Amino acid sequence: MPTAIKLQLSSVVDSYLKELGNSDPKRLLEYSVNLHGAWNNILDSFGVRDDDVVLDVGTGLGLIPFDIASKTTAKVVGCDISAEYITHSKHILEKMEDAKLLLDKTRLSFEVADITSLPYSSNFFSKIIVREVFSYLADPYQAAQELSRVSKLGADILVEDIDDSLYITHPLPSPAFETLFDIVKTLQNDKGGDRTVGRKLSTYLSSVGFSIVDVEVITESSHLSSEQMWGEKEFIARQLIALKPQALERGIVTVSEFDSAFNTWLLEEIHSGFRMNGRILVRAKKVVDNLQQP
């Protein structure tokens, strides 16, 4: 994508971010924008063509479909279990259209759908993307089966997810931060999610008719200045405040335990430091015909 268009695409998203109050959709969009920075080459090498029919599952606020629809006239569907996120995706779609950033608006749609029960015909999509969704699922195998069902024979799939063992920092996180991070992990596991799912993705896919083409660890690493650490801390603090009610409701932590860890961490001095975050990316191809599956 030419740089000018890339900047315009992000300027629509940036201005939408400013419109969103401090809310869950805003935090997700910020998260996705950060993540998307490393995805230019990944999406380019996925090679979406104008005659492809593409599904982005767990699309969030739709960054991947917008990116594809600004470069190709492929038919693209973004789906997500959250009706709220899909409503926002549709609003952003209108703004993208107003800014003339989409090659053909009629080829792009968003709808509510659960990855474990997709409302699409079998053998329908030629390309599927699933970025950071498996880590939220209680039944990843059922999800993989659905992805296989809706894929055409020969379809390409790109699945990426986290694996907590690939997150390293220097200095090490403080005990107070470890406590807070444990609360986040427990909350996600409690809902059936899995923060070490990255290493399992290729096994899920290969068990449902996909042949694994490539498995890659994509890493972001940087030395953050103390100002950047401040920015990161503010971001994490907002996420933690948003998660606190759910953690209390589920009895994972008491108010005083949460507040004590949170306030201790908040008051800790900020130093510059090293961060590496790795994610696992699996490319696979559908090789077993649905009709031949038992």
Residue placing its CB nearer to ligand SAM in the complex, 88 or 107: 88
Work out which of 133, 144, 183, 243 binds ligand SAM, going by CB under 6 A: 133
Q: Strand (E) positions, 183-272?
A: 210-224
Residue placing its CB nearer to ligand SAM in the complex, 55 or 102: 55
Q: Is 132 in the site for ligand SAM (CB under 6 A)?
A: yes
Q: Are 212 and 206 in contact (CB under 8 A)?
A: yes
Question: Rg of the chain over CA atoms, in angstroms?
Answer: 20
Work out which of 48, 63, 74, 281 binds ligand SAM, going by CB under 6 A: 63
Give the CA dihedral 35, 41, 45, 49, nearest 10 degrees.
Answer: 80
The window from 127-135, 221-229, 244-252, 265-273 that contacts ligand SAM (CB under 6 A) reads: 127-135
Q: Residue 177 and residue 264: Cα distance in Å, rounded?
A: 9
The dihedral built from the CA positions of residue 104, 109, 115 and 119, taken in this order, carries a sign that is: negative
Work out which of 97, 114, 164, 257 binds ligand SAM, going by CB under 6 A: 114
Work out which of 46, 134, 136, 177 binds ligand SAM, going by CB under 6 A: 136
Residue placing its CB nearer to ligand SAM in the complex, 132 or 156: 132
Q: Is 89 in the site for ligand SAM (CB under 6 A)?
A: no
CB 142, min distance to ligand SAM, A: 10
Q: Residue 56 and residue 89: Cα distance in Å, rounded?
A: 12
Neighbouring C-alpha atoms within 13 Å toward the C-beta of 184? 18
Read off the amino acid at residue 276: M
Q: Scanning residues 150 to 209, which ones bind ligand SAM (CB under 6 A)?
A: none
Question: CB neighbours (10 Å) of residue 98?
Answer: 10
Contact residues toward ligand SAM (CB under 6 A) are 28, 32, 35, 57-60, 63, 80-82, 85, 114-116, 131-133, 136-137
